[in-house]
């Protein structure tokens, strides 16, 4: 089967969703779309008023978009064909811990704009932990793949997840250490 056919089969599993699956899927993907549109929208708003930002600032919503597209696929498998394995092996708990650290790191990086000395260290800790738990999650996925219990779409979606997450967070931290240039100018237009 071609990879495009595998993608179609994988995406087609969304038809197996029950109400709870749709709620979880829409909340998770919607949350991440909110991050894409809020960070990208903020930059576009500032840009429309003549504010310039470093490239790293623009890479935050780009990384978030890559992450979002990837989880949109990955979550289909998590809510269907891999649902039992995720619950049985403790992978679901790893997902929740990773999400907690990931969301927390983004919130604290935003809070660090106004209160740098208070929030940057906790934000860094949560960022590092989000990557540690992402790698633990990868162990579960690659173990399934090696054992023949997963497919290439799942493997590639995780490549996209890690790529998007790394682009977003490394760019965000770089932008933070630059002092968030352009943010004050943009906020002044609100």
pTM: 0.93
- Per-residue pLDDT band at 108 (split at 50, 70, 90): very high
pLDDT confidence of residue 3 = 92
pLDDT tens across 127-182, in order?
999 999 999 999 988 888 888 878 889 889 999 999 999 999 999 999 999 999 99
pLDDT confidence of residue 90 = 87
Query: Residue 92: which residues within 8 A CB-CB, separation 6 or more?
Result: 86
Residue with tokens 């790394």: 166
Q: Report the 10 Å Cβ neighbour count for 48.
A: 10
Q: Are 157 and 52 in contact (CB under 8 A)?
A: no
Residue ranges making up the domain that contains 159: 3-187
- Tell me 18's DSSP state: -
Q: Are 63 and 88 in contact (CB under 8 A)?
A: no
Distance of CA 64 to the CA centre of its chain: 6
Residue with tokens 């890690």: 162
pLDDT tens across 27-72, in order?
999 999 999 999 999 999 999 999 999 999 999 999 999 999 999 9
pLDDT confidence of residue 156 = 92
Residue with tokens 């087609």: 12
Q: Report the 10 Å Cβ neighbour count for 162.
A: 18
Q: Are 13 and 80 in contact (CB under 8 A)?
A: yes
Structural domains in the chain (count): 1
Task: State how far the Cα of 29 lies from the Cα of 135, in Å rounded to an integer.
Answer: 21
Strands (E), 54-182: none
Residue 34, token pair as written in the block: 């909110």
pLDDT confidence of residue 1 = 84
pLDDT tens across 173-189, in order?
999 999 999 999 999 99
pLDDT confidence of residue 86 = 85
Pick from 174, 149, 190, 184: nearest CA to 57: 174
Residue 170, token pair as written in the block: 């490394």
Strands (E), the chain: none
């Amino acid at each position: 089967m071609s990879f495009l056919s595998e993608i179609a089969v994988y995406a087609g599993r969304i038809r197996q969703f029950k109400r709870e699956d749709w709620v979880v899927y829409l909340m998770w993907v919607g949350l991440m779309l909110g991050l894409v549109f809020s960070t990208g929208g903020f930059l576009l708003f500032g840009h429309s008023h003549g504010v310039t930002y470093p490239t790293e600032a623009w890479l935050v919503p780009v990384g978030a978009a890559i992450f979002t597209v990837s989880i949109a696929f990955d979550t289909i498998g998590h809510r269907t064909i891999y649902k039992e394995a995720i619950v049985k092996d403790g992978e679901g708990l790893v997902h929740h811990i990773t999400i907690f650290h990931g969301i927390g790191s983004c919130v604290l990086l935003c809070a660090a704009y106004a209160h740098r000395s208070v929030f940057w260290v906790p934000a860094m800790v949560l960022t590092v932990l989000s990557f540690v738990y992402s790698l633990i999650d990868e162990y579960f996925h690659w173990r399934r793949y090696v054992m023949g219990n997963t497919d290439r779409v799942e493997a590639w979606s995780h490549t996209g997840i890690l790529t998007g997450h790394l682009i977003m967070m490394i760019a965000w931290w770089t932008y933070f250490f630059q002092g968030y240039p352009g943010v004050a100018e943009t906020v002044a237009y609100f």
